[in-house]
Structure 1
Amino acid sequence: MSKRKKKRLLIRVSILTVLIAAVVYTLYSTLTDDDRMLVKAGDAAPDFELTDLDGNAHRLSDYKGQGVFLNFWGTWCKPCEKEMPYMENQYQVYKDEGVQILAVNVGESEFQVNNFANEYNLSFPVVRDAQKDVMYAYAIGPLPTTLLINPEGEVVKVVKGEMTEEMVAEYMEMIKP
């Protein structure tokens, strides 16, 4: 075999090896995505403190004894935008029954979040996770993601993706004290 053919074979084998490694890594990442989630159903919800649009601090632990509908969202996220009115409607139904909503905006400016909250007339606490610390602590992937937390502070369910109003009502019923 000539030197040129050996060199070509070596390059082809190297490229093939890299491609196979990439495919294996992608499959592994996809199949173990849920296993890597730091916070899942059955876990105690990590405590955090974030500030709302009026400057008031909200600690998750302050809501102990109530169900918490913890929603991570962004103003640019169309599914988030679609489910906000559903959340507002159901908040009006469940707020006096011991279910609270904490809407955690991820990484956006106060101006953007304020405009969004005003546009949708949101009455539940909207807090900003400007540095994305809480998002990373909860290992939040795609937005919207909602964690249902029971009155004891335990995560009951993690919901990834858009919810219908019926789903929001069903989930609030699940975490009602």
Structure 2
Amino acid sequence: MKSLAPLFILLGIHTNIYAKTYSPLLANTLDGQAISSQGQVTYLKFWATWCAYCIEEMPLLEQSYQQANTGYQVISINIGFNQNKHGITHYLNQNGYRFPTVFDSDGSITRQYYVLGTPQHILIDEFGNELYRSALFTDELASKLTELQGRK
């Protein structure tokens, strides 16, 4: 079977060609906390525990979460495909990750944001407009997040 990695990389190369405006994300995290993207600049990361690139990038997601301050919020979204809450919670706890994580058990959030592969990074503004999308954590995404730190 051929690797799908080139397809995911192709889909994630810079991306305002897919720029959209989204309804606010309203969900509960794995620990039952309500979370929303409404009125906030939000960095969404779609991932799965079986995705090697996702796992490799998780320390960068934690670092982004720790540095966000008031400039943006981080929401991790596990895509729910071949996953379960217990396994995800165990993985996050085992690695000391503290960012809020939503379990997309039915795939509705993944579909709402037109995510076709993992990892997927999406940065949206406070009005739900897509600012940036990439399959991998790029230097450009890091730069955009740095610009947002401490903003408000």
TM (normalized to structure 1)?
A: 0.67
Supply the AA of the counterpart residue of 1:52.
T
Larger relative contact order, structure 1 or 2 (CA cutoff 8 Å, min sep 6): 2
In structure 2, give the amino acid aligned to 1:47: P
Is the partner of 1:141 in helix, strand or coil? Answer: coil
Whole-angstrom CA distance in 1 between matches of 2:148 and 2:131: 8
Deviations 1:24-49 (A, max 9, x none): xxxxxxxxx89xxxx932x2222232
Q: Look up the match of 1:158.
A: 133
Cα deviations across residues 35-77 of structure 1 (Å, max 9, x unaligned)? xxxx932x2222232221211122221xx1x321111100111
Quick one: structure 1 residues 55 and 98, their matched pair in 2 at CA, closer, same or farther if it must change by over 3 Å? same
Within the candidate set 78, 100, 117, 1:142 is matched to: 117
Higher-helix-fraction structure: 1
Q: Does 1:68 align with 2:42?
A: yes
Indicate the RMSD between aligned Cα atoms, in angstroms.
Answer: 2.4
2:80 is equivalent to residue 103 of structure 1: no
Among 25, 42, 67, the alignment partner of 1:48 is: 25
Residue of structure 1 in register with 2:142 after alignment: 169
The structure with the largest alpha-carbon Rg is: 1
Query: How far, CA to CA, are the matches of 1:133 and 1:51 in structure 2?
Result: 13
Which residue identity is paired with 2:72?
V
The runs of 5 or more residues in structure 2 that have no matched partner are 1-10
SS of the residue aligned with 2:134? strand
- TM-score, scaled to structure 2: 0.77
Partner of 2:99: 124
In the TM superposition, residue 119 of structure 1 has moved relative to its aligned partner by 2.0
Tell me, yes or no, if the aligned pair for 2:121 and 2:137 is still in contact at 8 Å: no
Count matched residues.
135
CA deviation after TM superposition for structure 1 residue 168, in Å: 4.7
SS at 1:130's partner residue?
Answer: coil
CA contact (8 A) 2:43 2:121 kept: yes
Separation (CA, whole Å) in 2 of partners of 1:98 and 1:175: 5
Overall identity of the aligned pairs, in %? 26
Contact 2:48 2:79 in 1 (8 A): yes
Describe the superposition over 1:54-112 as per-residue Cα deviations: whole angstroms up to 9, x where unpaired. Answer: 11122221xx1x32111110011111001110111122122x13211100001121111
Matched letter for residue 45 of structure 2: N
- Per-residue deviation, 1:175: 4.7
Q: Partner letter of residue 141 of structure 1? A: L
- Do the aligned residues in 2 keep the contact of 1:146 with 1:158 (CA within 8 Å)? yes
User: Partner of 1:79 in structure 2?
Assistant: 53
